[in-house]
Homo-oligomer: A and B are copies of this chain.
Amino acid sequence: MALVNENYLRNSGLHCFEEAEKRVNAYKLLHPSVKLFCLDNPNRSLQLIPEIVQTLHKTIDDTINPEIFRKDSSIRGCDFLIDKILKEYRAIGVSLNKESVFINDGSNSDIENIGYVLGRDNIIAITDPVHPLYENAAILSGRGSAIGGDSEWSNIIRIKCSEENGFLPQLPREKADILFISNPGNVTGTVLNRTELKKWVDYATKNKSLIVYDASYKAYIKEGDVPKSIYEIRGAKKVAVEIHSFSSIFGSSAFHCGYSVFPSELQVYTELGDEVSLNKLWTKRVVSFTNGSSYVMQRAAEAIFSRKGKSEIAELVNYYSINASLIREELLSFGWKVYGGVNSPYIWFKIPVDLPSWKYFTQLLYEAHIVSIPGIAFGDSNDGYMGFSAFGDRTDIINALKKLKSTQSSNF
């Protein structure tokens, strides 16, 4: 009898996104002529940068020469791309060897799958709010042992981020074996500066913990005291994996490419306390369970490292950053409590009225025609908060804010 992994029968936090989609679709059906402003969606609204489009055309033409693929086909990633990534690290004073870098098909899958090379008895710390994928991965891989129904788990620690600490993740008081952090924070948009991040590295060093550092939105960092890589902190190579996604910059559904860094210095442990190279284990996983990123996507990713590509990407990032500022400033001008939006395309805010996030989601949808991100999607305790994303067309965002302002002055 084929048995199921019964962890898959447990609740999944992802249902919130489906719920949001359902509500939006219902609204569209009832109001087909209303233009909605999507401040929820990580899908980009701008076209791909010209340098990528040109590179793609060239790459497609290169497929006429099959030798090119054969030479470059490694499931870990192509040298031409890895070399560019290493050079970018060197520019911020981080030296890594070639074997440290794995090209992936976007950051999500590596963040979710890293648990598979780690033991099941690890205590996992995730922030709160957190993207539901993090907790979901822990639960589905059997790391969530229920203690209080489906929403509390014995070996998952939630690091509460709140107004009191400016929605910045604080180190857990308990001992955690694996710590997941995103910097800039996915959804809250807040950032850990060098001093703060050093505390995390020191904690991990002391406790022999592993930090899984999601740097997907690093392109949006503007402030100089926020590191672009955790490896800027001394000692981090021994305790941290860094995961990055090109898709987060240049159009997620058209492209799937990113990279993960597993430095050769990075150690994890057997139950007897013996050191094991996590890089070696990850190599085994990548070769066994993935197909890697396709040659075409890797060439597209390489294009963003050219002089022209860099300048076009900077322009794109700047465009979304200005969007974020516009949103942030407008919400602040309402007198709302606002987080993020400075070093990040995400803005997190306290719901200005006494409504839970689903009700406010519906109110924003029906009265301001804005699709938002309900706080509860990132954990039950965030029901009083809401998220906006700045990945949209400028004019749409300006119009959305105008509409919001008008409703705001009346009944919001």
A149 within 8 A of B: no
Contact B64 A2 (CB under 8 A): no
Q: What residue in chain B is nearest A10 (Cβ atoms)?
A: B284
Taking CB atoms and an 8 Å cut-off, the chain A residues in 1-46 that contact chain B are 1-6, 8-9, 12, 14, 41, 43-46
A47 within 8 A of B: yes
Q: What residue in chain B is nearest A55 (Cβ atoms)?
A: B60
Contact A1 B46 (CB under 8 A): no
Contact A208 B2 (CB under 8 A): yes
A291 within 8 A of B: yes
Taking CB atoms and an 8 Å cut-off, the chain A residues in 102-143 that contact chain B are 105-106, 108-109, 112-113, 116-122, 133, 136-137, 140-141
Contact A56 B64 (CB under 8 A): no
Contact A253 B4 (CB under 8 A): no
Q: How far is the CA of A47 from the CA of B296 in the complex (A)?
A: 14
Contact B8 A285 (CB under 8 A): yes
Q: A276 with B4: in contact, given A43-B69, A106-B291 (CB under 8 Å)?
A: yes
Question: A5 is contacted by which of B9, B117, B287 (Cβ under 8 Å)?
Answer: B117
Shortest distance from the beta carbon of A23 to any chain B beta carbon, whole Å: 18
Residues of B within 8 A of A146 (CB): none
A381 within 8 A of B: no
Taking CB atoms and an 8 Å cut-off, the chain A residues in 231-283 that contact chain B are 247, 251-256, 268-271, 273, 276, 278, 281
Shortest distance from the beta carbon of A255 to any chain B beta carbon, whole Å: 6
Shortest distance from the beta carbon of A313 to any chain B beta carbon, whole Å: 15
Residues of B within 8 A of A254 (CB): 63, 69, 294-296
Contact B5 A118 (CB under 8 A): yes
Q: How far is the CA of A65 from the CA of B294 in the complex (A)?
A: 23
Copies of this protein in the complex: 2
Contact B60 A46 (CB under 8 A): no
Q: A291 with B109: in contact, given A1-B177, A178-B2 (CB under 8 Å)?
A: yes
Q: What residue in chain B is nearest A239 (Cβ atoms)?
A: B2
Contact A64 B47 (CB under 8 A): yes
Q: How far is the CA of A278 from the CA of B116 in the complex (A)?
A: 21
Q: What residue in chain B is nearest A78 (Cβ atoms)?
A: B253
Q: What residue in chain B is nearest A294 (Cβ atoms)?
A: B256
Q: A270 with B3: in contact, given A43-B70, A288-B14 (CB under 8 Å)?
A: yes
A225 within 8 A of B: no
A407 within 8 A of B: no
Residues of B within 8 A of A12 (CB): 284, 288
Shortest distance from the beta carbon of A127 to any chain B beta carbon, whole Å: 18
Question: A1 is contacted by which of B43, B251, B253, B269 (Cβ under 8 Å)?
Answer: B269
Contact B3 A268 (CB under 8 A): yes
Q: What residue in chain B is nearest A287 (Cβ atoms)?
A: B14
Q: A105 with B291: in contact, given A2-B268, A270-B9 (CB under 8 Å)?
A: yes
Residues of B within 8 A of A3 (CB): 118-119, 121-122, 177, 268-271
Contact A2 B112 (CB under 8 A): no
Residues of B within 8 A of A5 (CB): 116-120, 281
Contact B137 A289 (CB under 8 A): yes
Q: How far is the CA of A46 from the CA of B294 in the complex (A)?
A: 17
Listed in ascending order, the chain A residues whose CB lies under 8 Å from chain B are: 1-6, 8-9, 12, 14, 41, 43-48, 53, 56-57, 60-61, 63-66, 69-70, 72-73, 105-106, 108-109, 112-113, 116-122, 133, 136-137, 140-141, 177-178, 207-210, 247, 251-256, 268-271, 273, 276, 278, 281, 284-285, 287-297
Q: Can you list 16 residue pairs at the A/B interface with Cβ under 8 Å?
A: A1-B209, A3-B269, A4-B117, A5-B120, A6-B271, A9-B270, A46-B66, A53-B60, A53-B64, A57-B60, A108-B291, A109-B290, A116-B116, A136-B288, A254-B295, A294-B297
